[in-house]
Structure 1
Amino acid sequence: MTIAPVPNDVIYTVGLYGWRKRCLYFLLLLFLVTMIVNLALTVWIIKVMNLSTVRGGMGNLQLSQDGIRLEGFSEFLLPLYVKEIRSRRDSALVLRSERNVTLNVRNSQGHLTGQLTGRTLWKAQCRRLEVRSRADGQPLFSADADEIRIGTRTFTVTGSEGAVFRHSVETPLIQSSASEELKLESPTRTLTMGAPRGVEVTSAHGALTVGGRKDLQLQSTEGEIILDAATVRLASLPLGVFAPEPPGRASPPPPPAGQATYEVCVCPSGKLYLSPAASSSTCQAVSNICLWS
């Protein structure tokens, strides 16, 4: 067996040439440019977001095992779902919105159990609302569907018009400050004060005025009504006309001229009137005041 020799003019070359070589260089250049752009964008994002491995977060946002911590102002464009929002001990927590702020509380089934919302008027919807003291945790204000309870020692109303109650009020003491007047008024209805063991109205350093458009009744079902004062004045009592007694009964002589002395008489109906005073009583059950009362 013989082997034919290979001609010397036949040469086999290995590699990429022509358009394949140009495509390979273009792809390598494209990958290099993409890597440089990505690296530049990464550095730019780290710079803009202020990412730091030392503080464990980015900028004012710090990540920890307990949650996240924000410093300064933060803006949320979509709803925020968190378990607890708490400020630092030496600063206040401020929630600000251009429209309104709404805080919702939901149970495990997703049903709404509490809501706090408001813009110019704040509204709270819950079963029971409580405001507690920061010092000892005692309830200062609580409200539910049945009652509203104020736990402070003093409830002060600073409005110029005072406090308006649509229905009854139960309290052991109503008192004004030392430099202010206390006024209880019912403009269109009846003002009633009652207590199982008595009602005490006291004015320590000023006058006490009780007035009404119609009848004013002082009633005691089991005890007495006592007017205890150095001077008791019954102003604007009508003056009765003394009628002479029938013949055979001596009538009291008239009072001396220029003496304005009268006695207070009581009609069978309870009405009071004045009668000219004399040596004996001039009160008459058939007086014109009693007949027309």
Structure 2
Amino acid sequence: MEQSATLDIETLKITQEQFILASQSLHLQRPGCDAVYQVGLYGWRKRCLYFFLLLLLVTMIVNLALTVWIIKVMNLSADGMGKLQLNQDGIHLEGISEFQLPLYVSEIQSRRDGMLVLRSEKNVTLNARDVQGQLTGQLTVGPEAVEAQCQRLEVRSRDGGRLLFTADEQELTMTTEQLTVTGSEGAVFEHSIETPLIQARTSEDLKLEAPTRTLTMEAPRGVEVSAAKGTLKISSRKDLQLESTEGEILLDASSIQLGSLPLGIYTQSPSQAFREQAVYEVCVCPSGKIYLSPAESSSSCQAMSNICLWS
């Protein structure tokens, strides 16, 4: 068996050699290819590809550098950004901050050992809105005035328990024990004012004045005007009217003086009107005007006096 296998291999070798020799003797030639096609990128396409790859690499490096620079400058960390820290209760911000767009928060609180300052070049406006987005309250602090737009304005004490000042569309209420006006011109009220007491400071005068209109004081149980340690002075440019509809007007004093009363004269001859007189009596005209008349043995008050006729 081994000899037969060896013979077969040698026979095959001889046959292969004979085939090679026969093909060389016949000068056989393989068919050639007329066109050669190259596979790949060559020329300007290859240069453009390398250029775009280089540009992409430069962009990635610049982007990475800018990202590192922003993290470094903004001081970004896992807790927040710089002086802005994110906590479970909210945002903790230190220093001066500037907001270009509206800020929506539920509570703004300053540090325990500092104060909260809201600063703006024009004005600071605080708005309160309901669920539908309608404006329910507004506080505007501007360069000329502080405006509050709400249904009811309340000012409370430091502890928040005592109500000091309230204002709404109907009335203005002050619950403080004392209202002090320190201006040199006093307080000006365009309409009525209701108060149980108007009192001046110690060693200072109290002055109630209506320069162009009428000063009226009314009370259901009476009005008391008193000067415990000084002089009470009531002056008017025109008429001073004391009227009582159901009671009487009582002037109770040790001495009552009526100064600058006119002198009324009613005589038959004009020569008797200028005689010297030392005693006078006080007369009242039907219109209520008071004048002086020379005292005689009988009353000289006449309804036809010149004072009563001209008044």
Bin for the TM-score computed over the shorter chain: 0.7 to 0.9
Tell me what 1:51 maps to: 76
Q: Unpaired segments of 5 or more residues in structure 1?
A: 5-17, 245-253
1:84-122 CA distance string (max 9 Å, x none) = 112123322211111222222111111122222233222
Which of 249, 270, 292 is equivalent to 2:288? 270
- Counterpart-to-counterpart distance in 2, 1:292 and 1:31: 112
Q: Which protein is richer in helix relative to its size?
A: 2
The letter for the 1-side match of 2:133 is G
Going from structure 1 to structure 2, the CA distance change for 1:258 and 1:119 (only over 3 Å counts) comes to: closer
Identity %: 70
Q: State the aligned residue count.
A: 268
1:202-256 CA distance string (max 9 Å, x none) = 2233322212222211111222212122321101111122537xxxxxxxxx9xx
- Counterpart-to-counterpart distance in 1, 2:51 and 2:264: 128
Computing the radius of gyration over CA atoms, which structure comes out larger, 1 or 2?
2
1:16-64 CA distance string (max 9 Å, x none) = xx98xx99999998888667655543442232112344xx322221211
- Counterpart-to-counterpart distance in 1, 2:284 and 2:50: 128
Which of 189, 196, 199 is equivalent to 1:175? 199
Cα RMSD of the aligned pairs, angstroms, is: 3.5
Which of 66, 72, 80 is equivalent to 1:41? 66
- Counterpart-to-counterpart distance in 1, 2:56 and 2:238: 100
- Relative to the length of structure 2, the TM-score reads 0.73
Give the conservation status (yes or no) of the 8 Å contact 1:101–1:119: no
Q: Does 1:121 align with 2:145?
A: yes
- Counterpart-to-counterpart distance in 1, 2:132 and 2:260: 74
Tell me what 1:14 maps to: none
Considering Cα pairs closer than 8 Å and 6+ residues apart, tell me whether 1 or 2 has the greater RCO: 1
Going from structure 1 to structure 2, the CA distance change for 1:140 and 1:37 (only over 3 Å counts) comes to: same
Q: Unpaired segments of 5 or more residues in structure 2?
A: 1-8, 17-40
Tell me what 2:124 maps to: 101
Q: Does 1:65 align with 2:83?
A: no
Give the superposition deviation at 1:67.
1.0
The letter for the 2-side match of 1:102 is T
Which of 280, 288, 291 is equivalent to 2:306? 288
